């Protein structure tokens, strides 16, 4: 069964047509409509009138008005269906899309997202300001969070999913778009986008304001902290930046205290110290789950092997940086400082992915070793398990 969750706020003029169009679209399916209402007008009274005539229509009226995302989560908790869907109550999301989304779910999709930005879609219902705000929000999300790049329209607000996608997941009801939360935190394999035309608003007033926009930015920030892969990348970049500072400071110190030492020798020493600093900080913060592992000679051997790999990766990063600078400066005649910056960016991506899939892959081995050591030293604990 499908549970359709519709958050509403002062949409009394749209309720009748909305219900009629949903019924037409879903006439071949078993469904329920759950209105989560924060209104201070006659909207709940109108919904109640329809609910008395049709037991598939249900109303949750809230007095605290805690936002759209929390309304969706409230509806999910109340829903009885194994398939969940969300759409706005202002008719800008065409209810006719529901049957198309159900067909995609029936063909094996875990998550279906109607999109305005694939062939056949249109955002014509927005004025130029809303288009600008929407585009800015989308690209901020896509640039900062990898999972949001899987969907071309993660701010659209209309979607359908199997309940298993969010089973056991802690969804954080922040602000504007709960779909972003599901894209980042959900457990899904198959995401399908289908085109749709965003409709112009006929009645009522838009809910977009500065507060909603600030909530969106805060939501992006909270997702960055909770998404391990994204958090690791940005922490890795910060650690890399600290390594540049360490390298420059050590190089300056050696130049001041050991003026007779060759420039190349100073550069090698400062680079090695910076590598050691980066390795330690990455252990403590980037891959922080490894930092808690108890020291043991087996753990020591794994660390030695991992540090050796880190030196190889760092050396390869230096090579990537040098090649990039050489090509940009000598062949394309780009300013050497911009060429150097481009080299650092390329090296950062190279270092991150090689570190993730080769260097710190040993983290799982560390955790396994630590678990075995703990069970060996404390057999009573493993027995209790």
Of 370, 371, 323, the C-alpha closest to 344 is 323
Q: Are residues 7 and 130 in the same domain?
A: yes
Q: Residue 294: its pLDDT value, please?
A: 56
Q: Which of 173, 206, 226 is the last residue of a domain?
A: 226
Strand, helix or coil for residue 357: helix
Taking 60 as the threshold, does the pLDDT of residue 365 lie above it? no
Segment 151-166 shows an average pLDDT of 91
Which H or E run contains 191?
strand 191-195
Range in 198-202, 215-219, 277-281 the model is least confident about: 198-202
Q: Residue 203: its pLDDT value, please?
A: 47
**Which pairing describes strands 111-115 and 191-195: parallel, antiparallel, or unpaired?**
parallel
Of 214, 135, 141, the C-alpha closest to 184 is 141
Q: Which of 226, 255, 276 is the last residue of a domain?
A: 226
Q: Which of 173, 205, 226 is the last residue of a domain?
A: 226
Q: Are residues 286 and 180 in the same domain?
A: no
Higher per-residue confidence, 84 vs 137? 84
pLDDT band at 87 (very low <50, low <70, confident <90, very high): very high
CATH number, position 61: 3.90.550.10
Taking 90 as the threshold, does the pLDDT of residue 165 lie above it? yes
Q: Are residues 204 and 238 in the same domain?
A: no
Q: Are residues 216 and 360 in the same domain?
A: no
Higher per-residue confidence, 227 vs 20? 20
Q: Are residues 194 and 248 in the same domain?
A: no
Q: Residue 366: its pLDDT value, please?
A: 54
Tokens 């040993």, located at residue: 362
CA dihedral 69, 72, 73, 76 (to 10 degrees): -170
Q: Are residues 255 and 357 in the same domain?
A: yes
pTM for this structure? Answer: 0.69
Per the structure, the complete domain to which residue 363 belongs is given by 229-384
| Domain total in the chain | 2
Q: Are residues 149 and 282 in the same domain?
A: no
Q: Are residues 145 and 76 in the same domain?
A: yes
> Phi and psi for 55 in degrees, rounded to 5?
-70, -10
Higher per-residue confidence, 35 vs 366? 35
In whole angstroms, give the CA distance from residue 236 to residue 233: 5
Q: What is the pLDDT of residues 319-332, one digit of tens each?
A: 887 788 888 888 88
Q: Are residues 48 and 185 in the same domain?
A: yes
Question: Cα dist. 124→138, 200, 363 in Å?
Answer: 17, 7, 49
Q: Are residues 205 and 257 in the same domain?
A: no
Q: How many CB atoms lie within 10 A of CB 128?
A: 7
Higher per-residue confidence, 363 vs 101? 101
Q: Which strands make up the sheet holding 191-195, listed edge to edge?
A: 57-61, 31-37, 2-8, 83-86, 159-162, 111-115, 191-195
Q: Are residues 26 and 156 in the same domain?
A: yes
Q: Are residues 177 and 266 in the same domain?
A: no
Q: What is the pLDDT of residues 2-58, one digit of tens each?
A: 999 999 998 999 999 999 999 999 999 999 999 999 998 999 999 999 999 999 999
Taking 50 as the threshold, does the pLDDT of residue 378 lie above it? no
């Amino acid at each position: 069964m499908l549970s359709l969750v519709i958050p509403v706020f002062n949409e009394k003029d749209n309720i009748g047509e909305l219900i009629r169009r949903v019924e037409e679209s879903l006439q071949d399916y078993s469904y329920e409509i759950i209105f989560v209402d924060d209104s201070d007008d006659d909207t709940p009274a109108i919904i109640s009138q329809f609910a008395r005539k049709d037991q598939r229509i249900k109303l949750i009226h809230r007095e605290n008005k805690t936002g759209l995302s929390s309304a969706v989560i409230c509806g999910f908790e109340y829903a009885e269906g194994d398939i969940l869907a969300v759409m706005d109550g202002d008719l800008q999301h065409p209810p006719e899309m529901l049957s198309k989304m159900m067909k995609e779910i029936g063909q094996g999709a875990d998550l279906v997202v109607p999109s305005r930005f694939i062939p056949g879609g249109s955002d014509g219902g927005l004025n130029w300001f809303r288009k600008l705000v929407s585009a800015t929000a989308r690209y901020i999300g896509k640039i900062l969070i990898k999972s949001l790049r899987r969907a071309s329209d993660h701010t659209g607000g209309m979607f359908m999913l199997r309940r298993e996608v969010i089973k056991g997941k802690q969804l954080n009801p922040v602000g504007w778009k709960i779909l972003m939360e599901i894209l980042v935190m959900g457990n899904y394999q198959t995401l399908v986008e289908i085109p749709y035309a965003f409709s112009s608003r006929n009645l009522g007033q838009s809910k977009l304001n500065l507060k909603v926009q600030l909530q969106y930015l805060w939501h992006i920030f909270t997702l960055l902290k909770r998404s391990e892969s994204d958090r690791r990348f940005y922490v890795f970049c910060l650690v890399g930046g600290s390594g540049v500072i360490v390298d420059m400071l050590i190089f300056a110190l050696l130049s001041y205290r050991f003026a007779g030492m060759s420039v190349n020798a100073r550069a090698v020493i400062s680079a090695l110290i910076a590598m050691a600093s980066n390795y330690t900080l990455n252990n403590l913060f980037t891959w922080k789950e490894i930092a808690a592992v108890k020291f043991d000679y087996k753990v020591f051997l794994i660390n030695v092997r991992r540090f050796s790999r880190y030196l190889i990766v760092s050396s390869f990063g230096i090579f990537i940086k040098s090649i990039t600078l050489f090509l940009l400066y000598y062949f394309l005649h780009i300013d050497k400082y911009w060429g150097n910056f481009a080299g650092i960016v390329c090296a950062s991506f190279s270092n991150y992915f090689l570190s993730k899939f080769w260097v710190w892959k040993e983290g799982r081995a560390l955790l396994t070793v630590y678990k075995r050591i703990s069970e060996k030293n404390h057999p009573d604990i493993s027995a209790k398990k």
